[in-house]
């Protein structure tokens, strides 16, 4: 097969593909006793996610033994099945810290793809945890939860913290994968 024949075959294939695409274009009807036309309908659904059923975590009062742990079972919905989760704290450089009047206490965050989990994958502030999936039955998880966020303040940090009340904000960002 020579190059001009290859070029001709390619041109015919491209024209045929273009003509096939035009066959699906909207068509008007003809004037007559009846008239029929057709049109195409298209729809695009972008990847969507939602995190819901979040509750505040109260770690309680430290009485000399630790660590102090807490968790929240939440709902994560993704219409394409997968998601990334990114956690950030409200400390300096988005650190996971609880602030008191004169001191801060660091805490750690873990994520689990099951509700009621007691352990999970450790998270670093601002770093997406990719490859997450969860079972869900709608944007509200069917009224239930399907994942767990876990927070821990270590014994060593608690033991040297001055008397005070400490608080912080943990932000969870869910993105489609």
Residue 3 has pLDDT above 90, yes or no: no
> Residue 5: its pLDDT value, please?
41
- Structural domains in the chain, CATH included, are 49-176 (2.60.40.1090)
Residue 82: partners with Cβ closer than 8 Å, 6 or more residues away: 131, 132, 133, 176, 177
For residue 69, which of 125, 144, 126, 120 has the smallest C-alpha distance? Answer: 120
Say if residues 169 and 97 touch (Cβ distance below 8 Å). Answer: no
Say if residues 176 and 81 touch (Cβ distance below 8 Å). Answer: no
Residue 17 has pLDDT above 90, yes or no: no
Q: What is the pTM of this model?
A: 0.80
Say if residues 85 and 112 touch (Cβ distance below 8 Å). Answer: no
Predicted confidence (pLDDT) per residue in 62-106, tens digit:
999 889 999 999 999 999 889 999 999 999 999 999 999 999 999
Q: How far apart are CA 84 and CA 130, in angstroms?
A: 4
> Residue 23: its pLDDT value, please?
53
pLDDT, mean of residues 18-29: 68
Mean of per-residue pLDDT scores for the chain: 88
């Amino acid at each position: 097969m020579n190059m001009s024949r290859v070029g001709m075959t390619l041109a015919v294939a491209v024209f045929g593909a273009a003509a096939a695409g035009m066959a699906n274009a909207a068509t008007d009807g003809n004037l007559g006793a009846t008239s029929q036309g057709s049109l195409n309908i298209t729809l695009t659904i972008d990847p969507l996610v939602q995190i819901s059923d979040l509750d505040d975590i109260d770690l309680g009062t430290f009485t000399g033994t630790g660590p102090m742990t807490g968790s929240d079972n939440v709902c994560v919905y993704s219409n394409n099945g997968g998601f990334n989760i990114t956690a950030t704290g409200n400390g300096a450089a988005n650190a996971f810290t609880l602030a008191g009047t004169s001191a801060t206490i660091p805490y750690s965050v873990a994520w689990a793809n099951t509700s009621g989990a007691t352990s999970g994958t450790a998270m670093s502030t601002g770093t997406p945890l990719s490859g997450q999936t969860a079972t869900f039955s709608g944007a509200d998880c069917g009224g239930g939860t399907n994942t767990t966020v876990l927070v821990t303040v270590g014994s060593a940090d608690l033991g040297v913290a001055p008397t005070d009340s400490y608080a912080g904000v943990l932000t969870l960002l869910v993105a489609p994968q």
